Amino acid sequence: MKITGGAKAKSVEAMFSSIAHRYDFLNHFLSLGFDITWRKKAIACFSDLRGKKILDVACGTGDLAITIAKAGDETTRITAGDFSREMIEIGKTKIKEADLDSAVTMEFSDALNLTYHDNSFDGVTCAFGVRNFAGLNRGLSEMTRVLKPGGRMVILEFTQPSNPVFGALYKFYFTQMLPAVGGLLSGNKDAYKYLPDTVYQFPAPDKLSAMLEGLGLERVEFNPLTFGICGIHTGIKK
């Protein structure tokens, strides 16, 4: 499948593939373990996962997909897609080790050009991925397209803390310490410099909410987590 989005898509894919071998460890280490709690809170937005088909977009190594599978039951089915083949292979190993092969299917997928039919999934999720889309509106539009009417979209994404004091401390950690430590442990400092750059360039929560409403979602809400470090965007397709 051809990846759309031009040079940015290709550079992002190459960058994430280069750090795939350390991706999980660094996520947990650099977030002080909060990322595990954030994923659980995101999945709690689904009141009932029994018999549901969920699409996890830009799934990385499958942490959110695994969280969904564990929160559901034997009737819950998750399709997890990413455009980094290295991430997918690591995710498949994790899913097999967790004995979740029957619940989770991992496959190569371009978020800007999803191959699924309209109205295919009861829920669509994305954790820390929409920020990396080469075309944000295109990616969100595709996620909305494959969601069934009445289905829920859940997006977990980094934000900028609103408290000025905490925001300043966080910015120092995010822009100075994280790239240094992440680069040392992963061997790719640019990847961990890219992370804060994208967060500070990403639309504010109210603007993202407006985009979701413009695409046909209703009851759009934003729930900040951990002093506004990140937050959960949710909406229901009309």
User: How many CA atoms are closer than 13 Å to the CA of 174, on its beta-carbon side?
Assistant: 19
Q: Which of 64-73, 81-90, 192-201, 216-225 has the lowest mean pLDDT?
A: 192-201
With a CB cutoff of 8 Å and minimum separation 6, the contacts of 200 are 160
User: How many CA atoms are closer than 13 Å to the CA of 101, on its beta-carbon side?
Assistant: 5
pLDDT score recorded for residue 187: 81
Q: Which of 18, 235, 34 is nearest to 144 (CA)?
A: 235
With a CB cutoff of 8 Å and minimum separation 6, the contacts of 52 are 46, 72, 75, 76, 77, 122, 123
Domain ranges of the chain: 6-237
- The pTM assigned to this predicted structure is 0.90
For 30-84, how does the pLDDT look when each residue is reduced to its tens digit (9 = 90+)? 688 899 999 999 999 999 999 999 999 999 999 999 999 999 999 999 999 999 9
Residue in this structure with the two tokens 């009445």, named with its chain if needed: 150
pLDDT score recorded for residue 199: 87
Rounded to an integer, what distance in angstroms lies between the CA atom of residue 130 and that of residue 12? 12
For 207-218, how does the pLDDT look when each residue is reduced to its tens digit (9 = 90+)? 999 999 999 999
What mean pLDDT is predicted for residues 194-215? 93
Q: Which of 160, 179, 180 is nearest to 170 (CA)?
A: 160
Rounded to an integer, what distance in angstroms lies between the CA atom of residue 152 and that of residue 59? 17
For 119-172, how does the pLDDT look when each residue is reduced to its tens digit (9 = 90+)? 999 999 999 999 999 999 999 999 999 999 999 999 999 999 989 999 999 889
Residue 232 has pLDDT above 60, yes or no: yes
Residue 165 φ then ψ, to 5°: -70, -55
Rounded to an integer, what distance in angstroms lies between the CA atom of residue 237 and that of residue 186? 39
Rounded to an integer, what distance in angstroms lies between the CA atom of residue 68 and that of residue 236? 18
- 225 touches 159 (CB < 8 A): no
Rounded to an integer, what distance in angstroms lies between the CA atom of residue 65 and that of residue 57? 9
Radius of gyration of the chain (CA): 17
pLDDT score recorded for residue 6: 67
* DSSP classification of residue 155: E
CATH number of 6-237, picked from 3.40.50.150, 2.60.120.10, 3.30.70.1450, 3.40.1170.10? 3.40.50.150
Q: To the nearest whole number, what is the mean pLDDT of the chain?
A: 91
Enumerate the H helices of 19-118 as residue ranges: 23-30, 34-43, 63-71, 85-97
